[in-house]
Structure 1
Amino acid sequence: MSPDKMGDLASAPRGTAHPASETPGGQRGSAAALGTRILRHGAYEMLGMLRNGEQLVLAIVLPLLALVALVVTPVLDAYGPGRIDVAAPGVLALCTMSTAFTGQGIATGFDRRYGVLRFLSTTPLGRSGLILGKAVAVAGVLTVQLLVVGGAAVLLGWSPDPGGIVAAAILLLLGSAAFTALGLLVAGTLRPEATLAVTNLLWILLAAAGGVIIPAQSLPEAVQTFVSALPSAALGDGLRSALIEGAFDPLACLVLLGWAALASLAAIRWFKWS
């Protein structure tokens, strides 16, 4: 601080408010733009998820184990041209569920219990910024999963149809939106212990019989219609159509969009911040 400014402060009468602090460039300090705050919070949550051992197992280790198990066993022999061709899209759908639904649901549930959500919602980030930051974190973790799991699948002989890459990206985006909204709905309405139990149980049930790994059309006729309407089946079947046949599945996109809209509206209506 220059001697002139020191003299001005010393001569100011008691109780007089001092001017706001200035940056080295001479500009007054201010909060970052909303977009910057959202990206920073998303990066913070993403790193927190990747550093958490339990989350890392759920996001990376279990999908890799599932991929290897499906390739070395004859479980998927009747459902496509090759084991890896059917397994890889299903495991990518499983990654989306594990991060957007189970991982984000559990993290949000315990943040709600300890007052983190209520505190952050009163900061310049705000409630909308907090939710968008969580969506950014999900997208970041999912990108890491796609690189790791997709890379492992390629090493195992996977050759996805290039014509379906764009369709697959759209489906993954819609799937992450739908499952994030569902995870927030569960986390915002149930106690953390119940959220932990419900999200893990649903992850297991959907992975086993929700059309994620085994196509919904291959399940018993009595449950085909019900399973086909689930977001898990829409994502799994849509990714298989895109990455095996190079085809775009508009019905799968509509199902995922519908689940994302309904779950978001329900979360807005019933989500409790504390």
Structure 2
Amino acid sequence: MTTTLEPRALPTAAELRRPASAPGVWRACAARSKVELRAFFRNKQSLVFTLMFPVILLLVFGSIFSGKVAGTDTDLKQVFMAGIVAAGVMSTAFSGLAINIAIERDTGTVRRLAMTPMPKSAYFIGKLVRVIVTTALEAVLLIGLALVAFGLPLPGTPERWSTLLWDLALGTVACAMAGAAYSALIPNSRSAAAIVTPVFMVLQFISGVFFPFGQLPAWMQTVAAFFPVKWMAQGFRSVFLPDSFTAVEPAGNWELGHIALVLAAWSLAGLALTALTFRWRGHRVR
């Protein structure tokens, strides 16, 4: 007796266009996140530059600064310690991510991933998971070192711990979205550091990281107010500095609601810009 095998029906065009199921998307995101984290921690150069650069700044400037901030009883070191946490977030979430995307685009990694069945959203979620993990590690390193070496006080109330967490979370997402969008301006991996680093350094100087924000020229304060680093640093000052320090803050208070609003707006704006400008191919060489 002969058994006849019926040919399997080919998928229709509608079936091919059907988006992947939710479990499939989550598996792809989880797999991509593991790849991102493994690649970051195996790349010693990236690990040292991204994580250790703010630590080096903390040790150098923390050893230089001394005295009280004019008009307050607050040690200048404590002001700097609060600001350097914001610089650490920017280092991992903005600079590190923008340079990493530029390298992957230049080497063709981004283009090859776009040609695979992997949902494109998995690429960005993997990057965001990598940024969240590395930023949390950076924050723990900086706060721990500042606590041990320079006597930075830990938050004294549950409200301040809560502010630390949401400021860190919103600041990380805002800088990550800005970094992903900014990567569109980088033509190749060779120029990535030269294009990203000046922005990273200038924003630190005008955002109250190295100097008390209220002592900066008015025009610098105005420019800095358009970017998330200033607001992150202000949020971290509200966590680690006494409330009496608001006497020298430009607004006379911590503006926590304004900080959350600005960082959320930067997160949404960065996401929109990334969606509009992200290139899955590198610049064509002529």
TM-score normalised according to structure 2 size? 0.78
Matched residue, 1:21:
none
**CA drift at 1:84:** 4.1
1:173 aligns with 2:169: yes
Cα 1:169–1:248, aligned 2, differ >3 Å: closer, same or farther? Answer: farther
Matched residue, 1:264:
271
Cα 1:32–1:264, aligned 2, differ >3 Å: closer, same or farther? Answer: closer
RMSD: 2.7
Matched residue, 1:57:
48
Query: Aligned to 2:137, which of 103, 127, 144?
Result: 144
**CA drift at 1:237:** 1.1
Matched residue, 2:249:
none
Matched residue, 2:199:
202
The answer to whether the 8 A contact 1:99-1:142 is kept is yes
**CA drift at 1:14:** 10
The answer to whether the 8 A contact 2:207-2:221 is kept is no
Query: Aligned to 1:158, which of 152, 156, 161?
Result: 152
Counterpart Cα distance in 1 of 2:25 and 2:214: 45
Moved more, 42-51 or 199-208: 42-51
**CA drift at 1:268:** 0.8
AA aligned to 2:232 is L
Q: Could you list the per-position Cα deviations for residues 210-236 of structure 1 after superposition, in whole angstroms to 9, with x for gaps in the alignment? A: 333334322112322222222111111
Counterpart Cα distance in 2 of 1:186 and 1:76: 38
1:273 aligns with 2:280: yes
**CA drift at 1:256:** 1.5
Structure 1 unaligned segments of length 5 or more: list them: 1-10, 18-29
Alignment of 1:56-95 (within 5 A): 56-74=47-65, 77-78=68-69, 81-95=74-88
**CA drift at 1:248:** 6.7
Cα 1:213–1:253, aligned 2, differ >3 Å: closer, same or farther? Answer: farther
Cα 1:126–1:63, aligned 2, differ >3 Å: closer, same or farther? Answer: same
Q: Which runs of 4+ in 1 moved over 6 A?
A: 11-17
Counterpart Cα distance in 2 of 1:188 and 1:128: 17
The answer to whether the 8 A contact 2:86-2:232 is kept is yes
Query: Aligned to 2:123, which of 99, 124, 130?
Result: 130
Matched residue, 2:15:
none
TM-score normalised according to structure 1 size? 0.81
Q: Could you list the per-position Cα deviations for residues 96-118 of structure 1 after superposition, in whole angstroms to 9, with x for gaps in the alignment? A: 11111111111101111222112
The answer to whether the 8 A contact 2:184-2:278 is kept is yes
The answer to whether the 8 A contact 1:216-1:228 is kept is no
Percent identity over paired residues: 23
Counterpart Cα distance in 2 of 1:42 and 1:245: 39
Q: Could you list the per-position Cα deviations for residues 176-203 of structure 1 after superposition, in whole angstroms to 9, with x for gaps in the alignment? A: 1111111111223431234332211111
Counterpart Cα distance in 2 of 1:134 and 1:50: 14
